[in-house]
Amino acid sequence: MHKKTNVICGDSDLKPDFEAIGNNPNFVFENDPNFETVRLFDLEGNIVNVNSWLECANYVNGGWTNYSSDFTNGEQYLFFALCGLIIVLGYVQKKYNFLKKV
């Protein structure tokens, strides 16, 4: 079982057979009134709310996580850093050219 399962879903004594769950198209997860609903995200930005530890563990085992930012790649940070650099360089160049005219 993934270490993330305990962090996201909490501790449980259950030892689920995820392969059997995944191979059964008629498997229905039963709501657990003692389990606080957890919102999970996948790589594509899909969201699912799980209502039992078994359901939560099954999704986490399948690669879902409780933070959509876990899937943010470095390209986004690079893009914003380059945009900021271009703005700063444009400002410096404009200021330098202004001082040059005086």
- Six-digit token pair at 5? 């399962």
User: What average pLDDT is seen over the chain?
Assistant: 86
pLDDT over 90, % of the chain: 42
Asked if 48 and 39 count as a contact pair (C-beta separation under 8 A), the reply is: yes
Determine the pLDDT at residue 95. 81
Instruction: Count the alpha carbons within 13 Å of 96 in the hemisphere toward its beta carbon.
Output: 6
Determine the pLDDT at residue 73. 66
- Six-digit token pair at 93? 């160049």
Which is higher by pLDDT, 83 or 20? 83
Confidence of residue 18 (pLDDT cuts 50, 70, 90): confident
Which is higher by pLDDT, 81 or 74? 81
**In whole angstroms, how far apart are CA 16 and each of 7, 49, 57?**
17, 19, 9
pLDDT at 102 over 60: no
